[in-house]
A and B are shown apart, each in its own frame.
Chain A
Amino acid sequence: MILTALLLVIAQNPAQDPRYERLDPDTRGRVVAIVDSARAAGLPSEPLVHRALEGALKHATGERIVAAVRRLAGDLSTARDALGSKATPAELEAGVAALRAGATPAVLTRMRDVRRPPVTMALAVLADLVASGVPADSAAAALLVLAPTARDADLVEFRRAVERDIALGAPPAAATSGQLDVASVRVDANARNARPGKP
């Protein structure tokens, strides 16, 4: 009951969130303003708070923390525009990761259109592949091929296989292309098995 009351107080007045005490007063005020503005725009606030707390723990300067939070708020807004107002906070965060990896907003929109929600894993794998050295265009193209029918587990397996080939010396684009063929066959087989009676 006390916890519920505390959460209600924090929800009504985010500035009283005790987590903000880890920020210096000036940084706290600027971060709270950004978070309040984002919340008013219908964006999730927790990713912004987490980014500020990460900066505080890593002893980043106030300027750097505020810049990181402001940039994240802008990217969340772009991701929301691309994924639609029904996108979950998790999807928006994955969308931000994909955007920062080099995917265009149009790729996010296309992903939303071809895949049954949530699209969190598809966008996250796209970002992870780029982090592994795969060109953003190749990663986006591969994920858009797999997205309509692949399960989340298939996408994770695809990412691991590509990373394994890269670690063994394959050029990232070639590793992606090669593993895409393998994954497509497996995904198609899974899809057929999921529909008894189909050839």
Chain B
Amino acid sequence: MFEQDQEDIVERVIRELRRPASIDRALDARVMSEIARPPARPVTRRPFARIWPWLAAAALLAAAVIARPWSRDTRADAFQFVLIAPQAASVALVGDFNDWDPARAPMHAARDGVWATVIPLAPGRYRYAFLVDGVEWRADPGAPAARDDEFGTPSSVVTVGGRGT
């Protein structure tokens, strides 16, 4: 009986194998198309590919910070100008740094007739003077005198250095 069962199974397997298989007609075309396609480029891992732009940006930033092209001989330091003029009603600081325009640098009166103002100056040599009450010219007693005053009134000079050596 056992042998009979085995024969039945074998017979069924044979029948199943002999049954014609239904195959998609387009399968052949798809297979040939895949064979004809050029092989894909192998994917290689490049560990710096992603961080390279960041490294470049960091290098540029570091170079800019070290070189500081924006500050070369152009940085401005704050300078305070002071004049003691107890009788003055107004004092203006005029010079090369403000186009000799009294309206651009009025000085402020503190106590005891002390007039003061603070302005930023980039490196350079500037001629200047105080204009008291709009009519009286005064040099800065605390600064070197401008030796080459060609207009007959006293002026002073202030020099702002660049890099020291």
Would you call A54 and B161 a contact (CB within 8 A)?
no
The answer to whether B137 touches A58 (Cβ under 8 A) is: yes
Contact of A121 among B96, B137, B159 (CB under 8 A): B159
Considering the chains assembled together, what is the distance between the CA atoms of A164 and B152 in angstroms?
A: 27
**A152 touches B (CB below 8 Å):** yes
In this complex, the interface size class of chain B, counting residues with CB under 8 Å from chain A, is: 20 to 34
Contacts A50-B96, A53-B99, A153-B164 given: A90-B148 contact, CB under 8 Å?
no
- Chain A, interface size category, equals 35 or more
The complex places the Cα of A150 from the Cα of B165 at a distance, in Å, of 6
What is the bound-complex CA distance between A159 and B159, given in angstroms? 12
**How many whole Å from A132's CB to the nearest CB in chain B?**
7
Across-interface contacts of A89 in B (CB, < 8 A): 124
- Choose among B123, B131, B148 the residue with the greatest number of A CB atoms under 10 Å from its CB: B148
B80 to chain A, nearest CB (A): 16
CB distance from B17 to the nearest CB of A (A): 85
Bound form: Cα–Cα A159–B125 in Å: 15
With A57-B94, A116-B165, A132-B144 already in contact, the answer to whether A90 and B125 are too (CB < 8 A) is: yes
Query: Which B residues touch A130, using CB under 8 A?
Result: 147
From A1-9, A31-39, A93-101, A175-183, the one touching the partner chain is A93-101
Name B residues whose Cβ lies closer than 8 Å to a Cβ of A.
Answer: 73, 94, 96, 99-102, 123-125, 127, 131, 137, 144-148, 150-153, 155, 157, 159, 161-165
Q: List 23 A-B contacts (CB under 8 A).
A: A19-B99, A54-B151, A57-B94, A57-B101, A60-B150, A60-B151, A68-B150, A94-B159, A97-B125, A97-B148, A97-B157, A101-B147, A117-B162, A118-B123, A120-B123, A120-B162, A121-B161, A124-B125, A124-B157, A131-B144, A131-B145, A131-B146, A153-B164
